[in-house]
Chain A
Amino acid sequence: MNLSMVLEHLYIVLASVLLTILIGLPLGILAYMKKSVRSVILWTADILQTIPALALLGILMVFLGAGKPTVIIGLILYSLLPVVHNTYLGLNNIDPAVKEVATGMGMSRWYRLIHVEIPIAFPVIFTGIRIATVTAVGVAVFGTFVGGGGLGSIIYQGIRIENMRMILFGTLSLMIMAVLFDSVMAAIEKRLNRHESTTSNTSNKSSEVEPGA
């Protein structure tokens, strides 16, 4: 019916997830390395995700006006938690013995982080990215209220003019998108985990975030 809406939705989701990774990863690392800011970072990310999406977008709109940037920034704030949390958790759960070996080999703090710790923590970090992506697909629906377009606008229009076909088209595209992202990334995750025998207790903390929220 309207493929451009699907692409628009996809664009919003991908842009925000990419930026979320760029922001969330350093924040997660910072939380891991600096004990003093840890609880502030984790707590802020937690609060941001608790705020109802529409309220968050509404507040952002007051400052940034309507449009796609508002939606994308809102989505970034909203999907930070899984990425930050899992980055921190993945790094924190690495077997201390591995870290000591790395230090014993004469690695500097940063060298160790980049060449040992992040690779080991990567499967857990990736789980966070997956959760963030699937959540973003669902939350992006709210974008329509602040002029962001995407599948939300089809659904919303369909509801207003009581057009079942539009609602179904929007909903089904949305569901397919979410399920596709989820299953493809879950498959990648499985591959990543296959090599992961060096970590002792990387309890995959997949604090599942429901996509529809």
Chain B
Amino acid sequence: MNDFFRLYGAKLWNAIGIHLVYVLVSVSIGFVIALALGILLSRLPRISRYVLPVISVVQTIPGIVFIGILFLYTGMVPATVFIALTIYAIFPVLKNTYTGLIGVSQEYKEAAKGCGMSSLQSLFWVELPLALPEIIGGLRMSTIYTVSWAVLASMIGLGGLGDFVYIGVSTNNNTLIIAGAIPAAILAVGLGLIIDWIQKKVVPKGLRREIR
């Protein structure tokens, strides 16, 4: 164990750092894009009727393909990983933002209107807060998947915890596999817990009792 840390300790921390950067940057960018698109789609029911099924299908493309194909065009640069992970992070948030906003019951919207709110005010002060738990649920999915797919960054030689798993698998070195897999698992579970906590915090006060 000590030997391991002497040999790989610095490298491991470095890999965890890179992995975390991949996840945080792509999820943040993806979240903002997805939120904007989700709001847009929820306002345009006629378009979203066609767009949403397409999104569900595109979503079935595994992340490995995003990274793989982008790699062929953009080469071995970190941007490849960021773009691929961002695209992937968009879907769950987009879907949940849309369903969350659509799911806000009519009576709340009408009450907002009745209070004299403009449609933008109603969006920001009524609809988004009500949809927030679901949106954060999408964020959780995005984050966990991104941790998972970021492992593949090493497939195109760009580091992260995948390096350990990858080299371990191909050289049959169990210690290395574990060294990559356990931190990746902890990272995913930890980020998941943090977002769970945030999700509890963002539930509007009036709704807390109804939540299971």
| Residues of chain A having any CB pair with chain B under 8 Å | 47, 50-56, 58-59, 61-62, 134, 137-138, 141, 145-146, 152, 155-156, 158-159, 162, 164, 167, 170-171, 174-175, 178-179, 207-213
Contacts and interface: CB of A to CB of B under 8 A. Distances in A.
A141 B65 CA distance: 10
A53 B148 contact: yes
Given A55-B151, A62-B177, A167-B69, A211 B59 contact: yes
A135 B124 CA distance: 34
Closest 10 CB pairs of A and B: A159-B68, A55-B181, A52-B148, A178-B60, A51-B185, A55-B184, A58-B181, A58-B177, A62-B174, A213-B145
B168 interface: yes
Contacts of A55: 148, 151, 161, 165, 180-182, 184-185, 188
Interface stretch (B9-17, B37-45, B87-95, B113-121): B87-95
B1 interface: no
Q: Is the interface of A mostly helix, strand, loop or mixed?
A: helix
Contacts of A52: 144, 147-148, 151, 181, 184-185, 188
B60 A61 contact: no
Contacts of B69: 159, 164, 167
Interface residues of B, number: 43
Most buried by B among A47, A51, A54, A213: A54
Interface of B: 57, 59-65, 68-69, 71-72, 88, 91-92, 95, 137, 141, 144-145, 147-149, 151-152, 155, 161-162, 165-166, 168-169, 174, 177-178, 180-182, 184-185, 188-189, 192
A59 B93 CA distance: 29
Contact of A212 (B68, B95, B145, B147): B145
Contact of A138 (B60, B72, B188, B192): B60
Contact of B60 (A156, A167, A174): A174
Contacts of B182: 55, 59
Contacts of B137: 207
B65 to A, nearest CB: 5
B165 A213 contact: no
Contacts of A162: 72
5 contacts: A50-B188, A55-B181, A62-B177, A156-B68, A207-B137
Contacts of B68: 155-156, 158-159, 167
